[in-house]
């Protein structure tokens, strides 16, 4: 990883340090330390449908288990006193991370239209556990002499994260729903450049994008897509700046009854500009990952309030410069009253 190499722990000596400097870049993960502002999968089905004027709150339990491994090799000539010796270096690294986070997102939706649409404001926060480990084996061969060194680093943190403000503007026209949004990161969370595991990001972010939802009240068919771009400010502690990221989340669902829908979700995440603030040898480290999986949602009433319980999961693939694995989202939300747009498909389905 870009900040968490295994040098200075159990690997030691000039040969080991140089090998890591040369070979670790091929195992590095972008964005910085492999952690991006945007959690792929944040949006899904019904993303662009208007909400209920007034207050609502969502609680999301997010669990992720990811890893990456790789090998690199090089040949290097070292000067020892008056003598030079060619040394073959082989480095095998593996990284593993696990997150168990609770995101809480209160939202206020304005009743007065803005530009003909519905404006809402959210301020989300996160608390939970993040853990990371990095293991490596370095083998050096200088003539008949072969030496193997092992190194291991691990870290875990239970703490609070940053604040994430988001503004959305939504429009409805029959079965078509549109959305634009602006989001950001206020870096007040628990972060240290000397840790492998952090909950805070360590730098500010601006994220802009838009989305669309097709919602047919007669057939109960729905599909949504939300795309956006993330601009990362420079990390003041490391003087490192991650590149611009593009992300696209999608969901497809079918209502089976007045209350239940099932379907699939997915995402694509691609860094489109290079990282900066690093030695040139490290390169741009543009990250990429794709994910897809099933989902199920349940809409119900709690008194006069509208509630939603949803579960979705993603399996990741085609990753580059980023750990990959799987993640699950368990969402519960409640609003002050039932939104007409949210109940529209279930009303018609009940008449079928």
User: What CATH number does the domain containing 113 carry?
Assistant: 2.40.160.40
Q: What angle do CA 47, 53, 58 make, to 5 degrees?
A: 50
- pLDDT of 218-251, one tens digit each? 999 999 999 999 999 999 998 889 999 999 999 9
Contact 202, 240 (CB under 8 A): no
Residue 186: the pLDDT is 97
DSSP 345: H
Cα(66)–Cα(225) distance, integer angstroms: 25
Assigned domain for 137 exists: no
Cα(286)–Cα(293) distance, integer angstroms: 24
Residue 278: the pLDDT is 67
Cα(173)–Cα(189) distance, integer angstroms: 40
Structure tokens at 255: 């209502």
Whether residue 4 is predicted with pLDDT greater than 60 in this model: the reply is no
Residue 255: the pLDDT is 96
Q: Between 340 and 154, where is the model more confident? A: 154
- pLDDT of 91-106, one tens digit each? 677 788 899 999 999 9
Instruction: Tell me the whole-structure pTM to 2 decimals.
Output: 0.80
- pLDDT of 128-182, one tens digit each? 999 988 787 767 666 677 777 777 778 899 999 999 999 999 999 999 999 999 9
User: 87 falls in which pLDDT band (50, 70, 90)?
Assistant: low
Cα(345)–Cα(253) distance, integer angstroms: 12
In the chain, DSSP finds a helix count (H) and a strand count (E) of 2, 12
Assigned domain for 139 exists: no
- pLDDT of 271-324, one tens digit each? 999 888 865 444 567 889 999 999 999 999 998 899 999 999 999 999 888 888
Split into its structural domains, the chain has a count of 1
Residue 234: the pLDDT is 94
Assigned domain for 4 exists: no
Assigned domain for 277 exists: yes
Assigned domain for 7 exists: no
Nearest alpha carbon to residue 203 among 176, 226, 184: 184
Assigned domain for 18 exists: no
Assigned domain for 79 exists: no
Assigned domain for 11 exists: no
Structure tokens at 147: 């030496």
Contact 312, 339 (CB under 8 A): no
Boundaries of domain holding 274: 32-67+98-131+156-349
């Amino acid at each position: 990883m870009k900040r968490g190499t295994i040098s200075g722990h159990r690997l030691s000596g000039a040969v080991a340090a140089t090998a890591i400097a040369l070979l670790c870049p091929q195992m590095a993960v972008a964005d910085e330390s492999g952690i991006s502002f945007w959690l792929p999968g944040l949006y899904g089905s019904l993303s662009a449908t208007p909400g209920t004027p007034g207050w609502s709150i969502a609680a999301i339990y997010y669990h992720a288990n990811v890893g990456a491994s790789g090998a690199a090799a090089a040949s290097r000539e070292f000067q020892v006193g008056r003598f030079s010796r060619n040394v073959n270096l082989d480095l095998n690294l593996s990284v593993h991370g696990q997150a168990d986070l609770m995101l809480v997102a209160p939202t206020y939706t304005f009743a007065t239209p803005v530009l003909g649409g519905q404006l809402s404001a959210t301020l989300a926060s996160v608390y939970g556990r993040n853990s990371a480990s990095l293991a490596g084996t370095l083998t050096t061969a200088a003539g008949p002499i072969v030496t193997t060194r092992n190194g291991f680093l691990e870290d875990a943190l239970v703490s609070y994260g940053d604040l994430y403000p988001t503004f959305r503007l939504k429009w409805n026209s029959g079965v078509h729903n549109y959305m634009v949004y602006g989001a950001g990161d206020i870096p007040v969370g628990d972060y240290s450049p000397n840790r492998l595991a952090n909950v805070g990001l360590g730098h500010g972010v601006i994220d802009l994008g838009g989305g669309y939802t097709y919602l047919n009240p007669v057939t109960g068919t729905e599909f949504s897509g939300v795309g956006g771009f993330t601009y990362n400010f420079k990390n003041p502690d490391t003087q490192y700046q991650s590149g611009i990221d593009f992300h696209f989340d999608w969901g497809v669902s079918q209502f089976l009854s007045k209350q239940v829908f099932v379907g699939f979700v997915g995402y694509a995440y691609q860094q489109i500009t290079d990282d900066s603030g690093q030695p040139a040898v490290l390169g741009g480290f543009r990250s990429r990952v794709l994910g897809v999986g099933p989902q199920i949602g349940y809409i119900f009433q709690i008194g006069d309030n509208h509630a939603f319980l949803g579960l979705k999961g993603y399996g990741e693939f085609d990753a580059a410069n980023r750990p990959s694995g799987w993640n699950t989202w368990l969402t519960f939300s409640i609003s002050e009253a039932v939104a007409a747009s949210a109940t529209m498909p279930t009303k018609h389905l009940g008449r079928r």
